[in-house]
A and B are shown apart, each in its own frame.
Chain A
Amino acid sequence: MSLTTAHSVVAPSANSKRIAGAIVVGYALVSIVPLLWIFATSFKTPPDSIAYPPKIVFQPSIEGYCNLFTTRTRQTPEYINSLGPATGFCDETVRKRNMVIAGPSNFLPRFVNSLIIAFGSTFCAVFLGTLSAYGFSRFKVPLADDLLFFILSTRMMPPIAVAIPIYLMYRELGLSDTALGMILLYTAVNVSLAVWLLKGFIDEIPREYEEAAMIDGYTRLQAFWRTVLPQATTGIAATAIFCLIFAWNEYAFAALLTSGTAQTAPPFIPTIIGEGGQDWPAVAAGTTIFLVPILVFTILLRKQLLRGITFGAVRK
């Protein structure tokens, strides 16, 4: 299912190829502009960020990043100077550039929350998903089709609809606004994807491998560990990336079920406020930092993307 499989024998003419290329490149360039604009804004000063007409050439500044990470409250150059020698990178920048910072910011803890919750839930979802996918793939499970459909249907509910009873349940159990609660929730949402994707991958591994291993005296579990898992590594990795992207980007549950200690970055970034309005360079800086991991994954895994986004429903 690679994106680069050779195909057209009926080769399109060179001219039509050139036109097709021009249109696609044009679309790609237009569609990437908002992202480049976010990136550029993250290096502007607040006045530059709201200048009209929009500034394409500007003196780069890291004020946005400083505002994003500062733990100080509303610092001015005079205030910084009164503190004695500069203690960090941000302090130095503030002194050199005469910046006014509207801190303190909670970005770092929110970002760490995102990391913990996204990776924690991904690990759990992939772990449970692998076991179940193997179970569905290799054993005669009563009502397997119904169970699989049930697993899939758990994704059809609008998140807000699920959020109401989950909110009540978590309040009873003391799980509201905790990382554990969010990990459990995201695991439950992701596990359906993981089971469906991994079942596809494991179905393609011939049963003969395990049968051979079992004839050699391995138990079913050992055969699973020795033969199936190593073969399924690529599939497991691809599944993990999809679970990670979902948990990383999720907003609705996070916005409704977390408010303080367990809040993740997506609901936090829009709330970054500076002097008299939204501090757009800081928001852009937060956005940029938040996007980097996903961009890296996208580029590394573009070939596996297809299978994931189609839920394994598109088969070769």
Chain B
Amino acid sequence: MLNRTADNVARATPEPLARRIRGISDKGLAWLFISPTILLLLAINIFPLFWAIYLSFTNYRANRPNEVVKNLGLANYRRILGDQDIWIAMQTTAHFVFWTILLQTVIGFTLAWLIDRKFRGHAFWTTIILVPMMLSPAVVGNFWRFLYEPQIGLFAYAVSFVTGIPPTNVQMLSNVELAPWAIIIVDTWMWTPYVMLICLAGLRSIPEYIYEAAEVDRASNWRQFWSITLPMALPFIMLAVLFRGIENFKMFDMVNLLTGGGPGSTTEVASITLKRQAFESWRTGYSSAFAIILFVAVFGLANIYVKALNKVKQR
């Protein structure tokens, strides 16, 4: 439609206008194409980011907009770095990130490696495995709360069926020891397919002739796995770890719905602390400072990691 309109305009209007439409320089066009996106991101991401940076130096409270805002300098940052609870939340987050990534990578890679054997019906079963990652983490978290119910839930029933422990003892969400694992299990269930998919792409990218050459050299299957399959797929595995790491560092939905940070604060990850400080205690300035610290941490870690990834890729 647009081209017809443009044609008509070009035909109907006197020469100078037509020339002018045709004559938008490429530079102008490039700006025309790119600026709406940049402007939107400036308005919705960058402007708020700078606002948050500004707030992080103040004692502003969003629920008391009329109070005088005092500039505190670096006090918020100093308090956060000295706050025991925040360090515990960071440790909890690190604990989650470590275990979820470890489990997802091991299971995901194994699955991809098995699927790559092309047994009968592999495409169908791959699609079935992919389903959990397409769901809303909120809806999933809420429903797992039901599965975890000790008296009525399927999970407790299955565990007691297999192990003989009475189901009332399988208090996944209210037991201090088990609650973190309840979340790790759900996250692994949901996101292993994601890691599997990336690993599968990695395995598929290994050229055939390398294996053929290894066959000629009579390398054993183990040897082929350790010196061809794993190293060649490594950049992909690392990429999966990067994506999952960034996501799980920000983990909020599932924790909020499964445990809300409890029991006590055993599952209180950084995002939950942030939400409590910002939207329950309304310490806007303080939580903005924490947000900035988190952002810098993710950004910094991701950058270091990407450098390592590039090195592995170049090998």
Which residues 99-139 of B sit at the A interface, judged by CB distance below 8 A? 107, 111, 114-123, 125-132, 134-139
Residue B205 is within 8 A (CB to CB) of chain A in the complex: yes
Question: What chain B residues lie within 8 Å of A7 (beta carbons)?
Answer: 116, 118, 204, 208
Taking the closest CB of chain A, its distance from the CB of B125, in whole angstroms, is 5
B271-296 to A contact mask, C-beta < 8 Å, 1/0: 10011001100001001100110110
B14 at the A/B interface (Cβ < 8 Å)? no
Q: Are B271 and A160 neighbours in the complex by a CB distance under 8 Å?
A: yes
**Is A218 an interface position by the 8 A CB rule?**
yes
Q: Is A237 an interface residue (CB 8 A)?
A: no
Chosen A-B contacts, 22 in total, with CB atoms closer than 8 Å, are A8-B118, A8-B208, A9-B208, A28-B129, A31-B128, A31-B192, A38-B143, A156-B302, A158-B252, A159-B250, A160-B250, A164-B288, A165-B49, A168-B51, A187-B44, A188-B45, A219-B24, A222-B3, A222-B6, A283-B143, A305-B197, A314-B201
Nearest-Cβ distance from residue A54 to partner chain B, whole angstroms: 5
State whether the Cβ of A251 lies closer than 8 Å to any Cβ in chain B: yes
Distance to closest chain B CB from A211 (angstroms): 13
Q: Quick check: A156 and B246 within 8 Å, CB to CB?
A: yes
- Nearest to A245 among chain B residues (CB) is B134
**B290 to A: closest C-beta gap in Å:** 8
Asked whether B34 is an interface residue with its Cβ less than 8 Å from the other chain, the reply is yes
Contact, CB under 8 Å: B252 / A27: no
**Prevailing SS type, chain A contact patch:** helix
Kindly identify, within residues 186 to 238 of chain B, every residue whose CB is under 8 Å from any CB belonging to chain A.
189, 192-194, 197-198, 200-202, 204-205, 208, 211-212, 215, 236
Known contacts A191-B37, A310-B198, then 8 further A-B pairs from the complex at CB < 8 Å, ordered by chain A residue:
A7-B118, A34-B132, A135-B30, A159-B250, A188-B45, A248-B136, A295-B131, A297-B134
Q: How far is the CB of A82 from chain B (nearest CB, A)?
A: 34
Q: Is residue A154 within 8 Å, beta carbon to beta carbon, of the partner chain?
A: yes
Q: In the complex, what distance in Å separates the CA atom of A278 from the CA atom of B152?
A: 13
Size band of the B side of the interface?
35 or more
Q: Is B70 an interface residue (CB 8 A)?
A: no
Docked pose: A18 CA to B138 CA in angstroms: 37
Distance between Cα atoms of A7 and B152 in the complex (Å): 47
Q: Is B151 an interface residue (CB 8 A)?
A: yes
In this assembly, does A57 line the interface, its C-beta being within 8 Å of a C-beta of chain B?
A: no
Given contacts A7-B116, A249-B136, A302-B127, contact A139 B33 (CB under 8 A): yes
Interface residues of A in 149-166 (CB under 8 A from B): 150-151, 153-154, 156-166
> B261 in the interface, Cβ–Cβ < 8 Å?
no
| Chain A residue with Cβ nearest B285 | A164
Alpha-carbon gap, A70 to B48, bound state (A): 40
Q: How does the 8 Å CB contact mask read for A13-24 relative to B, with 1 for contact and 0 for none?
A: 000111011011
* In the complex, A207 has a CB within 8 A of chain B: no
Instruction: Check if B294 sits within 8 Å of A158, measured CB to CB.
Output: yes
Are A161's CB and B291's CB within 8 A?
yes
Residues of A within 8 Å of B295, CB to CB, are 156-158, 161
Question: Closest residue to A270 on the B side, CB-wise?
Answer: B142
Task: Write out the residue numbers on chain B whose beta carbons fall within 8 Å of the beta carbon of A35.
Answer: 131-132, 135
